[in-house]
Amino acid sequence: MERITISVSEDFAVELAEFMKSHRYDNRSEAIRDLARRGLEQARVGRGGDSGATLSYIFNHHTRELARRLTESHHDHHDLHAATLHVHLDHENCLEVAVLRGPLGDVRDFAKQVIAERGVSHGHVEFAPVAITPGSHAHGSDRHRHDHAHPMV
Protein backbone atom coordinates (compact mmCIF):
# COMPACT_ATOMS: atom_id res chain seq x y z
CA MET A 1 0.00 0.00 0.00
CA GLU A 2 1.25 3.46 -0.85
CA ARG A 3 1.10 6.24 1.72
CA ILE A 4 -0.04 9.74 0.69
CA THR A 5 0.15 12.67 3.09
CA ILE A 6 -2.14 15.68 2.70
CA SER A 7 -2.62 18.90 4.61
CA VAL A 8 -6.12 20.28 5.20
CA SER A 9 -7.63 23.34 6.82
CA GLU A 10 -9.20 23.14 10.27
CA ASP A 11 -12.65 23.63 8.74
CA PHE A 12 -12.06 20.74 6.35
CA ALA A 13 -10.86 18.53 9.24
CA VAL A 14 -14.01 19.33 11.22
CA GLU A 15 -16.22 18.59 8.23
CA LEU A 16 -14.36 15.32 7.61
CA ALA A 17 -14.78 14.31 11.27
CA GLU A 18 -18.54 15.00 11.02
CA PHE A 19 -18.72 12.98 7.81
CA MET A 20 -16.85 10.10 9.45
CA LYS A 21 -19.17 10.13 12.45
CA SER A 22 -22.39 10.30 10.41
CA HIS A 23 -21.20 7.53 8.04
CA ARG A 24 -19.63 5.42 10.83
CA TYR A 25 -16.05 5.37 9.59
CA ASP A 26 -13.47 4.17 12.11
CA ASN A 27 -10.54 6.02 10.56
CA ARG A 28 -9.75 8.93 8.26
CA SER A 29 -7.85 6.83 5.74
CA GLU A 30 -10.88 4.71 4.85
CA ALA A 31 -13.17 7.74 4.70
CA ILE A 32 -10.80 9.62 2.40
CA ARG A 33 -10.26 6.51 0.23
CA ASP A 34 -14.04 6.15 -0.25
CA LEU A 35 -14.47 9.85 -1.01
CA ALA A 36 -11.59 9.74 -3.50
CA ARG A 37 -13.07 6.59 -5.11
CA ARG A 38 -16.39 8.39 -5.60
CA GLY A 39 -14.62 11.34 -7.20
CA LEU A 40 -12.62 9.08 -9.51
CA GLU A 41 -15.78 7.17 -10.49
CA GLN A 42 -17.53 10.40 -11.41
CA ALA A 43 -14.50 11.49 -13.44
CA ARG A 44 -14.57 8.18 -15.34
CA VAL A 45 -18.31 8.50 -15.96
CA GLY A 46 -17.77 12.01 -17.28
CA ARG A 47 -15.43 10.65 -19.96
CA GLY A 48 -18.16 8.47 -21.48
CA GLY A 49 -17.91 4.83 -22.44
CA ASP A 50 -20.12 2.24 -20.82
CA SER A 51 -22.02 2.71 -17.61
CA GLY A 52 -24.05 0.86 -15.06
CA ALA A 53 -26.67 2.98 -13.33
CA THR A 54 -29.61 2.98 -10.99
CA LEU A 55 -32.51 5.21 -11.91
CA SER A 56 -34.95 5.80 -9.07
CA TYR A 57 -38.07 7.90 -9.24
CA ILE A 58 -41.45 8.36 -7.64
CA PHE A 59 -44.51 8.86 -9.80
CA ASN A 60 -48.21 9.35 -9.36
CA HIS A 61 -49.87 6.53 -11.25
CA HIS A 62 -53.10 8.56 -11.52
CA THR A 63 -51.40 11.10 -13.79
CA ARG A 64 -53.13 10.75 -17.14
CA GLU A 65 -51.38 8.22 -19.41
CA LEU A 66 -48.17 8.32 -17.32
CA ALA A 67 -48.02 4.58 -16.60
CA ARG A 68 -48.48 3.85 -20.32
CA ARG A 69 -45.82 6.41 -21.33
CA LEU A 70 -43.34 5.04 -18.79
CA THR A 71 -43.96 1.45 -19.88
CA GLU A 72 -43.51 2.36 -23.55
CA SER A 73 -40.34 4.28 -22.78
CA HIS A 74 -38.90 1.33 -20.86
CA HIS A 75 -39.80 -1.05 -23.69
CA ASP A 76 -38.32 1.30 -26.27
CA HIS A 77 -35.03 1.14 -24.33
CA HIS A 78 -35.16 -2.54 -23.31
CA ASP A 79 -31.53 -2.95 -24.34
CA LEU A 80 -30.49 -0.72 -21.41
CA HIS A 81 -32.45 -2.62 -18.74
CA ALA A 82 -31.08 -5.25 -16.41
CA ALA A 83 -33.93 -5.16 -13.85
CA THR A 84 -36.76 -3.02 -12.49
CA LEU A 85 -38.27 -2.89 -9.00
CA HIS A 86 -41.76 -1.41 -8.55
CA VAL A 87 -43.05 -0.52 -5.07
CA HIS A 88 -46.51 0.85 -4.21
CA LEU A 89 -45.92 3.66 -1.67
CA ASP A 90 -49.53 4.69 -1.10
CA HIS A 91 -52.81 4.92 -3.05
CA GLU A 92 -51.36 7.34 -5.61
CA ASN A 93 -47.57 7.04 -5.64
CA CYS A 94 -45.16 4.36 -6.76
CA LEU A 95 -41.40 4.09 -6.47
CA GLU A 96 -39.49 2.47 -9.30
CA VAL A 97 -35.82 1.58 -9.38
CA ALA A 98 -34.41 0.57 -12.75
CA VAL A 99 -30.97 -1.01 -13.01
CA LEU A 100 -29.51 0.09 -16.33
CA ARG A 101 -26.36 -0.63 -18.31
CA GLY A 102 -25.08 0.43 -21.67
CA PRO A 103 -23.41 3.37 -23.40
CA LEU A 104 -23.25 6.27 -20.96
CA GLY A 105 -24.96 8.75 -23.30
CA ASP A 106 -27.87 6.39 -23.95
CA VAL A 107 -28.32 5.64 -20.23
CA ARG A 108 -28.11 9.33 -19.32
CA ASP A 109 -30.60 10.36 -22.04
CA PHE A 110 -33.08 7.67 -20.99
CA ALA A 111 -32.83 8.70 -17.33
CA LYS A 112 -33.40 12.36 -18.20
CA GLN A 113 -36.42 11.43 -20.31
CA VAL A 114 -38.03 9.45 -17.49
CA ILE A 115 -37.32 12.05 -14.80
CA ALA A 116 -38.77 14.82 -17.00
CA GLU A 117 -42.12 13.06 -17.49
CA ARG A 118 -45.11 14.98 -16.10
CA GLY A 119 -46.16 13.20 -12.89
CA VAL A 120 -42.65 11.92 -12.04
CA SER A 121 -41.07 13.40 -8.94
CA HIS A 122 -37.91 12.84 -6.93
CA GLY A 123 -35.99 11.37 -9.87
CA HIS A 124 -32.33 10.49 -9.37
CA VAL A 125 -29.77 8.58 -11.38
CA GLU A 126 -26.50 7.24 -10.01
CA PHE A 127 -23.79 6.11 -12.43
CA ALA A 128 -21.06 3.53 -11.96
CA PRO A 129 -18.36 3.12 -14.60
CA VAL A 130 -18.31 -0.37 -16.10
CA ALA A 131 -16.79 -2.04 -19.11
CA ILE A 132 -19.31 -4.08 -21.08
CA THR A 133 -17.82 -6.99 -22.97
CA PRO A 134 -19.56 -9.60 -25.11
CA GLY A 135 -19.41 -13.09 -23.72
CA SER A 136 -20.29 -16.58 -24.86
CA HIS A 137 -20.12 -19.51 -22.51
CA ALA A 138 -22.10 -22.36 -21.04
CA HIS A 139 -24.28 -22.37 -17.96
CA GLY A 140 -24.71 -26.09 -17.43
CA SER A 141 -25.30 -27.70 -20.84
CA ASP A 142 -26.75 -24.51 -22.38
CA ARG A 143 -24.25 -22.41 -24.34
CA HIS A 144 -25.34 -18.88 -25.11
CA ARG A 145 -24.13 -15.34 -25.72
CA HIS A 146 -24.71 -12.39 -23.42
CA ASP A 147 -22.90 -9.27 -22.34
CA HIS A 148 -20.97 -8.94 -19.10
CA ALA A 149 -20.52 -5.67 -17.23
CA HIS A 150 -17.26 -5.46 -15.31
CA PRO A 151 -16.74 -2.69 -12.71
CA MET A 152 -13.90 -0.36 -13.56
CA VAL A 153 -11.58 -0.08 -10.60
pLDDT digits (tens, 9 = 90+) for 34-52: 888 877 776 766 666 788 8
Which of the two residues, 22 and 131, has the higher pLDDT score?
A: 22
- Give the pTM: 0.67
Q: Which amino acid is at 108?
A: R
- The answer to whether residue 76 scores a pLDDT higher than 90 is yes
pLDDT at 137: 72
- The answer to whether residue 17 scores a pLDDT higher than 80 is yes
pLDDT at 83: 93
- The answer to whether residue 121 scores a pLDDT higher than 70 is yes
